[in-house]
Amino acid sequence: MTVNVNIHEAKTHLSRLLEQVAAGERVVISKAGTPIADLVPHQAATVTFGGMKGEVAYGDQPFGLDPDIQKMFYGPDPDQPGDSSESGDLGRSDDDAAP
């Protein structure tokens, strides 16, 4: 069964209307005769954690180390040969050191 009420009546008798909804009735709230809202019973949605387990796959590649970032933080890898400009000495040798 559907009950139609105006906004003023809905504000005045909200508790009674909620009891009717809990009993299974549907309440339509109208403004100037035009329906604007429905009061219906709440339906709780169940949440299942891990519901997509086994359906989503990803590789470890995005979580790997980026060699360029490693080089910025720790300098060049001593195991790999590189030019002297990467070592941070700016072309200065021990002979150019100040006395």
Q: Which residue has the higher pLDDT, 95 or 42?
A: 42
Per-residue pLDDT, averaged over 56-78, amounts to: 80
pLDDT tier for residue 38 given thresholds of 50, 70 and 90: very high
| Domain 2-39 class in CATH | alpha beta
Interior CA angle at 63 toward 60 and 67, to 5°?
A: 115
Domain ranges of the chain: 2-39
Q: Evaluate if pTM is beyond 0.95.
A: no
Q: Which residues contact 39 (CB under 8 A, 6 or more apart)?
A: 17, 18, 21, 26, 27, 28, 29
Task: Work out whether the CA dihedral 15, 17, 22, 27 comes out positive or negative.
Answer: negative
Per-residue pLDDT, averaged over 6-31, amounts to: 95
Q: What is the mean pLDDT of the chain?
A: 81
Percent over 70 (pLDDT), the chain: 80
